[in-house]
Every structure is written in C-alpha cells, then in structure tokens.
C-alpha cells in the first residue's frame, strides 16, 4: 500500500548521523561520530544507589502517573539552580520538566510557529533541533556562525525582512562547531530580537562542561519580560538515557508547552525525574561538575594535540573551551563532495567514523567542507589511533 504522509514529514529524513552510526555498530570502528557523554563521567554508582532508595521509599510515586508539569520537587530544584544563575525570575518565569532538551526545543517551535513562519538558526547547527523545526514545516533560515557567535548584521537583515518567530541559539560550545558566543554578541542579539519582536530559544546543553576560559552569562539573564526561552538538560551532566530536560520561560509560554507536552507523552518518566531530584539534593553539583570538567579537559586536549600532530597542516579546527565537539575545516578548495568522500573513506576503509558537515547545514544545497569530531565517547587509545588514521588519510587526500 502507498501511504500519503503529511507535507511536514514527507521530506523529513532520519538524521544523517544515524547512517554513520550504522557503521559504528561494528565494534572495530573507532567512533568520533557520537554525541554521548564520556562513559567515565556518568555517575552510574550514585544513580544506582539513589534508584534503590526511590523504589524502596516511594514506589507508588515512581510507578503511577505524574503531572505533566513535572515532579514538583525537581521543578523547585531546577528553579533554584536557574535563579542562582540569573536565569529564572519568579515574577514572570515558570519551569516545566521535559523528556530531554530535544522535547524542550521541539515544543517551543510547536507552540510558537505556524507552517511557513520563520525560525532562524546558526549555520551550521544541531541537526536534532533543525529536524524538529522542519517537522513543523517552518521556513528555516540560517545565519553565518563566526568564532564568537552569529553574524549579527546578517541576523538584523533577516529580522527586518522576514516574520521571524524564533531565533534558535546554542551559545556555549555549540554543536557542531564547539564555538562560544561572546557576551557582546549575546547582548546585541538580544536587543535585535527585542526590537523586532522575535523570541530567542537559548539551548544550553553543554554550558556546565566549561573546562577553560571564563563563564559567559546566559542570554536569559538579560531577559526582563520572559521573552527568552531557556532549555537545559541533565543528559550531559547526569545521564542521557534517563531523558530529563527542562524549559524556563514566561508563564504564558510554559502554559502552552504544558498543554502540548500533555498530548505528546503525558509526563516524563517519574523515576528519571526523581533520580535527578535526589542527585541534586544528595550530592554537591559543583563538586560533581568539577570532576566532569577534568575528564573533558583531558580528552579535548588529547584530541587537539593528536590533530595537531597528525592532520594535514592545511586543515583548520576549533579549540573549544568546553562541550563535546571539535569542528575541522578541510583546506580551501575542497568541495562538499570531496569532504563526504573523506568521511566515507575514513569509516569504510579505515574504520574511523566522523560526521560530515552536511548533517548540520540549514539547506540541503548548502556547501561545506567541515566535519565534526567528538572526543567524549572514545577512549584515550581510540583518540590517538583514530587521529593517526584520519591524519594519514588527510595528508593523502589534501597534502602534508
């Protein structure tokens, strides 16, 4: 039978990363393609202990239905945490717990955008969010991402000419580039969005994973009326498998997100929410984060060193101060086809998986000669060996 799918999903493809990850299921493949937290950074033992407590003490809370807004004690803890960072104002803000930040970003688009309305995103940007926006058939519009954040002149041009509902940004250690937006650009972008009446969706999954440089305040701290939607997650600091994220925004926006979450999945898994809550109560989050940052600092500097040692000298790459990713740009003149050829050969012939930049472009016709490398999932040995292999291939294809 031939099925006629809705226009909004008929063009939607499964993430290109998934295709790469198929190769990665081969245990011989060294994967720099994932986006998972470092295995050694997961507090598995603490979570196991907490889980025992939850199921012994409050099984009926864990196993019965909960409210859509989220487990009240966790919501309160998240509000406290965000307030301490200037990201929650009880006068107009509210918080809802979501099934990961993915749901936070998807529902933000759903409540604000009609089909055909414009969402602006950094170009390149996180494929999961881009596909979520595409699934509502919006007009997705990219703004060039520079080392210190988007080109704000370009942003203003778009705000002037289009009906922009949402500006989607990952200001800290962006996925895929690892770039961080400067404070000046945060302020400028906020002012432009206020001026033209666009809502900012500030996605901050990696902000806690800064191991170098100085913290830069969230755009949400500039917000005095709830027009910035801030989304966060426990995926990178506790566990992605538990699927717990959150959104903080104006009460009116949260009210609509609640209604949409109710029809999406009723509520987030109770056990997961209780786990996150008890972790925050029982352990010192800052101490925990210090430990994580050490792991990530080590892995980043290891990979950066190996890239420097092995890769063709014509390849440029970002030097992130946090997060999970390094963005490598192949030499000038390399075409999109040659870049994907490099990625294909790497995984097919040499069993090293990386993600081609095309996965993160806004339009399918956008050209890119960049690739994304992840340093959190592989072991030290895999980082060394994988970089050696990629280095050899890069020199073969692009010269010393």
Site for a copy of itself in 275-314 (CB under 8 A): none
Site for a copy of itself in 141-200 (CB under 8 A): 165, 199
4: contact with a copy of itself by CB under 8 A:
yes
Contact flags string 335-374 toward a copy of itself, x per CB under 8 A: ----------------------------------------
Q: Is the link from the previous residue into 176 a cis peptide, with omega within 30 of 0?
A: yes
Contact flags string 105-144 toward a copy of itself, x per CB under 8 A: -x---xxxxxx-x----------x--xx--x---------
Distances in Å between the Cα of 40 and the Cα atoms of 80, 240, 383 are 28, 14, 15
Token pair belonging to 380:
């030290």
> What is the three-state SS of 5-47?
CCHHHHCCCCCHHHHHHHHHCCCCCEECCCCCCCHHHCCHHHH
DSSP-assigned letters across all residues of 230-273: EEEESTTTT-STT--EEEEEEHHHHHHHHHHHHHHHSS--HHHH
Site for a copy of itself in 45-104 (CB under 8 A): 47-48, 51-52, 55-56, 59-66, 99-100, 102-103
**Closest by CA position to 147, among listed 119, 102, 177:** 177
Contact region with a copy of itself (CB under 8 A), list: 4-12, 316-324, 329-337, 391-399? 4-12
Site for a copy of itself in 243-272 (CB under 8 A): 243, 250, 252-253, 255-256, 258-260, 262-272
Helical residues (DSSP H) of 27-179, grouped into ranges:
44-57, 59-63, 72-84, 100-112, 127-134, 152-161
Contact region with a copy of itself (CB under 8 A), list: 3-11, 208-216, 282-290, 342-350? 3-11
Tell me whether residue 44 or residue 212 sits nearer to a copy of itself (CB atom): 44
Contact between residue 222 and residue 187 where contact means Cβ atoms under 8 Å apart: yes
Q: How many residues does the chain have?
A: 400
Measured CA angle at 263 (ends 260, 268), to 5 deg: 85
Tell me whether residue 40 or residue 147 sits nearer to a copy of itself (CB atom): 40
Tell me whether residue 112 or residue 303 sits nearer to a copy of itself (CB atom): 112
Site for a copy of itself in 206-235 (CB under 8 A): 225-227
Minimum CB–partner distance for residue 382 and a copy of itself (Å): 16
The single residue among 177, 180, 189, 239 that binds a copy of itself, judged by CB under 8 A, is: 239
Tell me whether residue 102 or residue 321 sits nearer to a copy of itself (CB atom): 102
At which residue do the structure tokens 């109560």 appear? 281
């Amino acid at each position: 039978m031939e099925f006629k799918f809705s226009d909004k999903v008929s063009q939607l493809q499964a993430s290109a990363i998934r295709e790469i990850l198929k190769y990665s299921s081969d245990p011989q493949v060294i994967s720099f393609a994932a986006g998972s937290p470092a295995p050694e950074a997961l507090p598995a033992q603490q979570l196991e202990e907490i889980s025992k407590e939850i199921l012994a003490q409050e099984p009926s809370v864990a196993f019965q239905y909960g409210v859509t807004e989220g487990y009240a004690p966790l919501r309160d803890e998240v509000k406290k945490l965000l307030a301490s960072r200037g990201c929650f104002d009880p006068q107009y803000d509210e918080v809802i717990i979501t099934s990961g930040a993915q749901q936070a970003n998807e529902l933000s688009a759903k409540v604000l955008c009609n089909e055909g309305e414009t969402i602006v995103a950094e170009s390149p940007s996180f494929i999961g969010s881009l596909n979520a926006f595409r699934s509502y058939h919006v007009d997705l519009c990219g703004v060039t991402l520079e080392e210190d954040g988007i080109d704000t002149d370009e942003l203003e041009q778009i705000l002037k000419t289009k009906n922009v509902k949402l500006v989607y940004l990952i200001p800290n250690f962006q996925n895929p580039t690892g770039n961080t937006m400067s404070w000046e650009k945060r302020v400028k972008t906020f002012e432009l969005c206020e001026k033209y009446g666009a809502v900012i969706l500030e996605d901050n999954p990696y902000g806690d994973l800064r191991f170098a440089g100085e913290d830069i305040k969230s755009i949400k701290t500039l917000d005095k009326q709830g027009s910035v939607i801030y989304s966060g997650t426990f995926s990178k600091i506790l566990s992605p498998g538990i699927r717990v994220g959150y959104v903080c925004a104006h009460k009116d926006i949260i009210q609509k997100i609640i209604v949409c979450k109710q029809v999406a999945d009723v509520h987030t898994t109770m056990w997961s929410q209780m786990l996150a809550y008890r972790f925050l109560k029982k352990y010192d989050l800052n101490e925990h984060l210090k430990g994580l940052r050490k792991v990530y600092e080590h892995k980043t500097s290891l990979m950066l060193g190996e890239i420097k040692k092995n890769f063709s000298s014509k390849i440029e790459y970002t030097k992130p101060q946090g997060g999970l990713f390094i963005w490598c740009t192949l030499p000038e003149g390399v075409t999109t086809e040659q870049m994907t050829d490099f990625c294909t050969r790497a995984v097919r012939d040499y069993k090293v998986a990386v993600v081609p930049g095309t996965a993160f472009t806004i339009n399918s016709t956008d050209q890119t000669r960049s690739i994304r490398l992840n340093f959190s999932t592989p072991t030290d040995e895999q980082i060394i060996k994988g970089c050696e292999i990629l280095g050899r291939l890069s020199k073969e294809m692009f010269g010393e």
